[in-house]
Structure 1
Amino acid sequence: MPIIVRSARSMAKHPASTCEKLPSMADHATETLTVDRLDRQLVHALLHDGRAPFRTLAAALGCSEQTIARRYRRLCDARALRVIVLPNPWTAAERLFLRISTQPGAAPALGRALTRRADVSWVTVATGATEVTCALRASSAADRDALLLQGLPRASQVTGVVTLSVLQVHDHGPETEWHGLPDPLSREQLRLLGPGTRPHGRRRSQAAQTRFEVEDEELLRILATDGRASYARLAALTGRSESATGRRLERLIDEGSAYLDVELATALLGFPLTATLWCTVEPAHLEAVGREVAAYPETAFVAATSGRTNLIVSGLFRDGADLYGFVTRRLGELPGLREIETVPMMAVLKQQGAIMDGVRLPPAA
């Protein structure tokens, strides 16, 4: 059964960037975007391997290469998805989550300011516009302290900061990260797609990684906005041969220096409610609970952290009833889970590489 949602089509006119001005809903003419089984399976396939050729995707999904290319362009034009390649973020010296409390109504402006920082990702504003959550990846303790001890305290609208160190990120299994969409791929379809590229970036140690070369900067700059750019285009823009470009990119991904990410505007795919759940789990159960929750189709990110709460869960839901069922039936039955603070998000301002789904906030003054 198709899912029909409203798409802010004119967002495609704005280049994706980490510091673009967020448009208001009034700025856009909307049209109906019908998301059917083939669209959902295409998203699943791209989550498995974001650079799989159209012919490979078509063979796995049982349709023509032209149809898959057309469906992909349609989803991209609607800003429903974007494939990108990024440096591995999980080797940063300091990996933190920040919960920043603000004066009433000040959170959107602070969130926009944080999106401009290259070392900050996953910027969200909680419902009520009094809290911003973000992930900080600092290359050193000095860089970390520059934001925590100098930048944020000087912001007059900031009333408090809670800092949590990321201790363990729980993978979602061999297929995808978030897999809440209906119509998952069959084992045969996954076999036709090949081994995939999704897990590499989180499972490789820093010592095993390939060092970046000067020529890699331009390569990664291009892939940060178009992770499916052809080897011919990459070669033309970087000055390497196609074969050398292909080998270099494959090595960076295989050894974990870079990884593919599929950024999804999940509201356009029928999941408009994003919530962060700050959980307190008994230490003896923390590992088991983290692994169990990471396997749930509703979860997009699960990690153990320091702090008063020790497990962060980011989930995507169709509505409040869906979230309620997740909290009561999924999490509520897990042994060792003592407390849950559920924080619905007003908007996601920045994912790994760009703004995707922040159109619900008013524009900056």
Structure 2
Amino acid sequence: MTLDELDRALLHALHLDGRVPFNHVATVVGASPQTVARRYRRLRADGVLRVVGMTDPRRLGQVQWFVRLRCTPDAVLKVAGALARRADTSWVQLMSGGTEIFCITRGADAPDSLLLQELPKTPRVVSVSAHCLLRSFVGGPVGWHGRATALTEEQIAQLTLEDKEPSGEPVDLAGDDRLLALLQQDGRAAFADLAEALGTGEASVRRRVGQLRRAGVLYFDIDLDPTMLGMKAQAVLWMSVRPAQLRTVAEILARHPEVALVAATTGATNLLAKVLCRDVDSLYTYLADSVGGIDAVGHVETAPVIRTLKRAATQSCSRM
């Protein structure tokens, strides 16, 4: 499938607000509401993209961990598949060589159950290392801006409501588990459908979603297959940066359109970046020129992604 101008404009609009009304998008891009809605349904049905409601781990007192596993070749797909089915994992990917798995997990503390009890007992898991996400600069609530380049500044202004910082007000999530799970499966689910599934009133659901968004607990993201944007070369960079310049380097990388995630981490390296490029030549150019031009970056380990089993949301990728 090839994305046309309308597909990319819709993608950009959803990047700005995952629940923006389709009739508003239609007015801005010069199409009918029916056409815009039909395009989204087609892209969603084909597994190219969908809107997902996500929770900000920090607002929930949770910690995220980048986990690297090395397995014997005969076990890697089985272990990766098991990780992808877990509710507490995201971005389960196979790396170059076919024996390493990368994933992100979250929890209230260190992922003890996964790292200390389950994985060590898994046959043919050779090694496991976990790196705590200390600070995120791109990724999560701050989406990858490289995917959203179709709209003009005027169109962006028409689609963007007044930006407000999350209130940070304390939020009691008791009783919200089912609502959050439904929104993670379909971030554009109608309030009426959510109310019916929850057995409550539509006004109550609308009000609660608004409260969670204002508090910064809930945000809406795009779960996207980047190959549809022509990004066929993906890699995870594990970088060593002089501590005094860690923030500066992270902020530089965050402005690069190739970078979908930048985070300061614990471990032998202290900065992680996920990059998406059009091909291996573009990846080389990015590493040699953009990363290579940053003096504070010392050692860089480049781990190409060869397969993605799960992206941001709870469901495994339908396109394997």
Q: Is the 8 A contact 1:107 1:131 kept in 2?
A: yes
- Counterpart-to-counterpart distance in 1, 2:140 and 2:156: 13
Structure 1, 240-249 or 281-290: larger mean CA deviation: 240-249
- After TM superposition, the structure 1 = structure 2 runs for residues 97-176 of structure 1, keeping only pairs within 5 Å, are 97-141=66-110, 144-171=111-138
Structure 1 residues 212 and 196: CA distance shift in structure 2, 3 A? farther
Aligned counterpart for 2:171 among listed residues 182, 201, 210: 210
Indicate whether 1:356 and 2:297 are aligned.
Answer: no
Contact 2:15/2:148 (CA < 8 Å) preserved in 1?
A: no
Q: Which amino acid in the other structure matches residue 80 of structure 1? A: V
Residue 3 (structure 1) aligns with = none
> For the Cα contact (< 8 Å) 1:349–1:356, is it kept in 2?
yes
Q: Would you say 1:309 and 2:276 are equivalent positions?
A: no
| CA apart distance, 1:153 | 1.2
Question: Which of 331, 338, 347 is 2:298 aligned to?
Answer: 338
What are the within-5 Å matches in structure 2 for residues 174-185 of structure 1? 177-181=143-147, 183-185=149-151
Cα distance change on mapping 1:173 and 1:314 into 2, 3 Å: closer
Match of 2:158 in 1: 192
Q: Is 1:277–1:340's contact at 8 Å kept on the other side of the alignment?
A: yes
1:231 touches 1:245 (CA, 8 Å); kept in 2? yes
1:54-88: CA deviations, max 9, x gaps? 01111222222122112111211211101111332
CA offsets 1:85-110 (integer angstroms, 9 cap, x no match):
13323344432111111123432211
- Aligned equivalent of 1:255, options 199, 206, 215: 215
State yes or no: 1:82 paired with 2:43.
Answer: no
Count residues in correspondence. 318
In structure 2, C-alpha distance between the alignment counterparts of 1:212 and 1:236, rounded to whole Å: 20
Q: Secondary structure at the match of 1:50?
A: coil
Task: Tell me if structure 2 keeps the 8 A contact 1:274–1:344.
Answer: yes
**Is it true that 1:326 corresponds to 2:289 in the alignment?**
no
CA contact (8 A) 1:209 1:257 kept: no
Secondary structure in structure 1 of the residue aligned to 2:7: helix
Q: Give secondary structure in 2 for the equivalent of 1:195.
A: coil
1:233 maps to a residue whose letter is D
Q: Which residue of 2 aligns with 1:272?
A: 232
* Aligned-partner Cα distance in 1 for 2:162–2:271: 28
Work out whether 1:69 is the aligned partner of 2:37.
yes
Q: Which shifted more, 266-275 or 119-128?
A: 266-275
Q: Is the 8 A contact 1:265 1:356 kept in 2?
A: no
* Aligned-partner residue type, residue 248 of structure 1: R
Partner of 2:193: 233
User: SS state of the match for residue 84, structure 1?
Assistant: strand
Which residue of 1 is the match for residue 252 of structure 2?
A: 292
For 1:232 and 1:269, the matched residues in 2 are separated by 33
Any conservation in 2 of the 1:92–1:137 contact (CA below 8 Å)? no
* Secondary structure in structure 2 of the residue aligned to 1:99: strand
Question: 1:234-276 deviations in whole A, cap 9, x for unaligned?
Answer: 2222233222211110111121222212100112332222211
Residues 357/276 of structure 1: CA separation in 2 closer, same or farther (3 Å cut): farther
Is 1:54–1:65's contact at 8 Å kept on the other side of the alignment? yes
Q: How high is the TM-score relative to the length of structure 1?
A: 0.81
Describe the SS at the equivalent of 2:300.
strand
Structure 1 Cα separation of the partners of residues 194 and 264 of structure 2: 38
Cα displacement (A) at 1:357: 6.4
SS in 2 for 1:304: strand
Q: Secondary structure at the match of 2:220?
A: strand
TM-score (norm 2): 0.92
- Which residue identity is paired with 2:144? W
RMSD: 2.3
| Pair 1:263–1:196, CA change in 2 (3 A) | farther
What are structure 1's unaligned runs of at least 5 residues?
Answer: 1-32, 360-365
Task: Quote how far apart the aligned CAs of 1:277 are.
Answer: 0.8
Letter in 1 for 2:157: R
CA distance in 1, matches of 2:140, 2:120: 39
Q: Residues 204 and 301 (structure 1 numbering): CA distance in 2 closer, same or farther, change over 3 Å?
A: farther
User: Alpha-carbon deviation of 1:173?
Assistant: 12
- Residues 204 and 320 of structure 1, relative CA distance in 2, 3 Å threshold: farther
Query: Whole-Å Cα distance in 2 between the matches of residues 181 and 357 of structure 1?
Result: 20
**Residues 152-209 of structure 1: CA deviation (Å, up to 9, x unaligned):** 11112111122211111003799x6223247432221111112389x97xx775xx34
2:70 alignment partner AA: S
* Partner-residue secondary structure (3-state), 1:134: strand
Structure 2 equivalent of residue 29 of structure 1: none
| C-alpha distance in 1 between matches for 2:188 and 2:62 | 29
Given that 1:168 and 1:304 are in contact with CA atoms closer than 8 Å, whether structure 2 keeps it comes out as yes
Identical-residue share of aligned pairs (%): 38
Which consecutive unaligned segments of at least 5 residues does structure 2 have?
none
Q: Distance in 2 between matches of 1:330 and 1:301?
A: 16
Give the Cα separation in 1 of the matches to 2:167 and 2:288: 35
Aligned with 2:20: secondary structure? Answer: coil
